Amino acid sequence: MKKNVYFGLYLVIALLAVLPFVVPNSFYLDLVIRMAINAVIVLGLNLLIGFAGQISLGHAGFLGIGAYASAVLPTHFGWHPLVAMGAGAAATGLLAALVARPIFKLKGHYLAMATLGLGIIISIALRNEAQWTGGPDGMPVPTMGLFGFDLSSDKQWYWVVALLLSISVWASLNLIDSPFGRALRALHGSEVASQVVGVDVVRYKVAIFVLSAVFASLMGSVTAHYVGFVSPNFADFFHSIELVTMVVIGGMASVYGSLVGAVLLTALPQALATFEGWETVVFGAILMGSMIFLPKGLVPTLASKFGKGE
Amino acid sequence: MSMLQVKDLSIQFGGVKAVQNVSFNIDAGIVYSVIGPNGAGKTTLFNLITGVYKPTSGEITLDGEAIHGKSPNELAVRGVARTFQNLQICMNMSAIENVMVGAHLRLDRNLIKAALRFPGLKKRDRELRAEATQLMDFVGLGQYVETRADAMSYGALKRLEIARALAMKPRLIFLDEPAAGLNPKETIEVDHLVRKIADSGVTVVLVEHDMKMVMNLSDRILVLDYGKKLAEGTGEEIRKNPDVIAAYLGAHA
């Protein structure tokens, strides 16, 4: 049955505990941290796309709000970074909730268009409010202080991000196998059937949209502090697409697929650097190939091949 | 007073009057069947009463409360369950999960508590799983508990829908052609199943083409034709009604 679902979580935790001691140098540690950050965002996005069956092409916008909240509020107003992070998440949640109601009256292509537009609006706003955000040049982000000591070294950040990732995997697994998660999957499977058993579908779609947006915002803040710099590229449309691609390649409606998708697509551009100038072409070819041969995504395809279930 | 009262119910799609001025009452605890040829408006009538469509005019009251225009999930709260003529199964879930979704309104659905795995939730989930297993036994799907819904046969899925509806613990259940597409043996099983549901105290409203099953089960029958009410009465009355004989049952009735 589903007992061994948490086994994967222990594996992830074990891997995260060992990794910093085996990575050869700081370049790889940086790569691992960025993989883990992306993995958390993709987990949230997969709840929305894979489990609830709703698309968002504007999630980088939410990431941008979080990142810029962490840059602007401490720099211009002297807020504590943690408070700024919370404020960014709260603002993102509020914005997501406000726009979600009308947006989720839409379906399919229209939903994709609406979220796409939302992401682009956020991106343009960040680019144009140059007196606050530094415009297209971006701006530096103050260091994150936690309980009196500064989070600055990559090692410290690694442990923070590893903890966040472990909690996110655990929470996602819990959520999916709960009444809330079943309602989400049911409205994906048959909207009318979920309605007649009492699921308020719009409310559930809004809730999961807000949750995944807040995930993105929080990780936007984390990225901003970790990198020490934000630029409008954070909120860029192409970044939104990249996140959706991670969901699809790893596997829709698969927690561990989210991790695999994030890890692969974060590493791939680095691995392809040897192709010099042609790497985008190779990247695109790999994406096309995996969609043709693994349309359900890596993890679900492999899982069904080895007959284990998810 | 009747449990469900329908008065002058109409719906129009563009120029098509799919249901026209239909009125009837259903008493608690009976099996009430709606019959009529294809396109008579039976499923449309179900969709109107269960909130999938909003009526153009007319009234529907459940235990004295007006329910027309309410959404399906608001009706679910009031104990109204239904199945669908063309299956509405969540193929992305296992069979038992489909049944467990039926208990949605009886569960703690809090997102935060679920994500943080609050104590008590898992225990409640195990109880629910046991209850859903029993329901699957009740509808004769005991061997399919952990099967994925997309791996099940049409006949089994029809019964899975009934199990899901029963998981709501409804007072009133609408079954839309539960025997359609089933072989004679399966039809008899569904016939017995509907009897068992009615005996358990749930009021059953049935749309069905299998006349033997309808006559066998129904306390009262409503006959629709071109969206209008043609006749209503007991099986015996319907059988003898000259309009009905002329229009539907034909010589073999």
Minimal C-alpha gap between B102 and chain A (Å): 5
Binary contact (A186, B84; C-beta < 8 A)? no
A67, A144 contact by CB (below 8 A): no
The overall average pLDDT reported for chain A is 91
- A310 pLDDT above the threshold of 70: no
Tokens standing for residue A148? 């009196």
Question: What is the ipTM, given to two decimal places?
Answer: 0.90
Minimal C-alpha gap between B207 and chain A (Å): 17
Percentage of residues in chain B having pLDDT higher than 90: 89
Minimal C-alpha gap between B243 and chain A (Å): 35
- A189 pLDDT above the threshold of 90: yes
Residue A188 near chain B (CB below 8 Å) = yes
Q: What is the separation, in whole angstroms, between the first and last Cα of chain A?
A: 10
Instruction: Write the single-letter amino acid at B55.
Output: P
Mean pLDDT of B178-205: 95
Convert the pLDDT of each residue in A194-243 to its tens digit: 999 999 999 999 999 999 999 999 999 999 999 999 999 989 999 999 99
Contacts of A193 (CB under 8 A, 6+ apart): A186, B84, B88, B89, B90, B101, B164
Binary contact (B77, A196; C-beta < 8 A)? no
How far, rounded to the nearest angstrom, does the alpha carbon of residue A8 sit from its chain's CA centroid?
19
- A149 pLDDT above the threshold of 80: no
- Check residue A248 and give its pLDDT: 92
Out of A20-24, A91-95, A258-262, B3-7, which region has the weakest mean confidence (pLDDT)? A20-24
Q: Which residues of A touch B205 (CB under 8 A)?
A: none
Residue from the list A175, A193, A200 with its beta carbon closest to the beta carbon of B114? A175
Residue A120 near chain B (CB below 8 Å) = no
pLDDT level of residue B183 (50, 70, 90 thresholds): very high
Residue A207 near chain B (CB below 8 Å) = yes
- From chain B residues 35-74, the ones with a CB under 8 A of any chain A CB are 50, 52, 71-73
Evaluated on CA atoms B135, B139, B141, B147, the torsion sign reads negative
Percentage of residues in chain A having pLDDT higher than 90: 75
The overall average pLDDT reported for chain B is 93
Residue with tokens 């979920």: A194
- Check residue A272 and give its pLDDT: 87
Binary contact (A201, B88; C-beta < 8 A)? no
Q: Which residues of A touch B90 (CB under 8 A)?
A: 185-186, 188-190, 193-194
Mean pLDDT of A80-105: 94
CA of A30: how far to CAs of A142, A223, A235, A273, A282, in Å? 19, 11, 21, 16, 24
- A1 pLDDT above the threshold of 60: no
Where do runs of H (alpha helix) occur along B83-210?
Answer: 95-101, 111-115, 121-138, 154-167, 184-199
**Residue of chain B nearest A252, judged by CA positions:** B92
Contacts of B49 (CB under 8 A, 6+ apart): B4, B6, B60, B67, B80, B174, B205
Centre a 10 Å sphere on the Cβ of residue B113 and count the other Cβ atoms it contains: 17
pLDDT level of residue B251 (50, 70, 90 thresholds): very low
- A309 pLDDT above the threshold of 50: no
- Check residue B235 and give its pLDDT: 94
CA dihedral defined by B159, B165, B170, B173, rounded to 10 degrees? -60
For an interface test with A, the pick among B50, B92, B113 (most A C-beta atoms closer than 10 Å) comes out as B92
Residue A253 near chain B (CB below 8 Å) = yes
- Check residue B250 and give its pLDDT: 57
Q: Which residues of B touch A201 (CB under 8 A)?
A: 73
pLDDT level of residue A307 (50, 70, 90 thresholds): low
- Check residue A283 and give its pLDDT: 81
Binary contact (A194, B89; C-beta < 8 A)? no
Residue from the list B88, B102, B115 with its beta carbon closest to the beta carbon of A190? B88
- Check residue A301 and give its pLDDT: 86
Tell me the C-alpha distance between B245 and B251, whole Å: 8
Tokens standing for residue A274? 């040897």
Backbone angles phi, psi at A309, to 5 degrees: 75, -175
CA of B164: how far to CAs of A147, B87, B103, B149, B201, in Å? 51, 12, 8, 12, 17
- Check residue A252 and give its pLDDT: 92
Contacts of A21 (CB under 8 A, 6+ apart): none
Convert the pLDDT of each residue in B84-135 to its tens digit: 999 999 999 999 999 999 999 999 999 999 999 898 888 999 999 999 999 9
**Residue of chain A nearest B96, judged by CA positions:** A182
Residue A195 near chain B (CB below 8 Å) = yes
- Check residue A57 and give its pLDDT: 94
Q: Note the pTM of the prediction, 2 decimals.
A: 0.92
- Check residue A264 and give its pLDDT: 93
Where do runs of H (alpha helix) occur along chain A?
Answer: 5-22, 26-46, 59-77, 81-103, 108-128, 130-133, 154-176, 179-189, 191-196, 201-227, 237-250, 255-271, 279-293, 298-305
Convert the pLDDT of each residue in A17-63 to its tens digit: 999 999 989 999 999 999 999 999 999 999 999 999 999 999 999 99
pLDDT level of residue B253 (50, 70, 90 thresholds): very low
- Check residue A210 and give its pLDDT: 97
A63, A216 contact by CB (below 8 A): yes
A215, A264 contact by CB (below 8 A): no
- Check residue B64 and give its pLDDT: 94
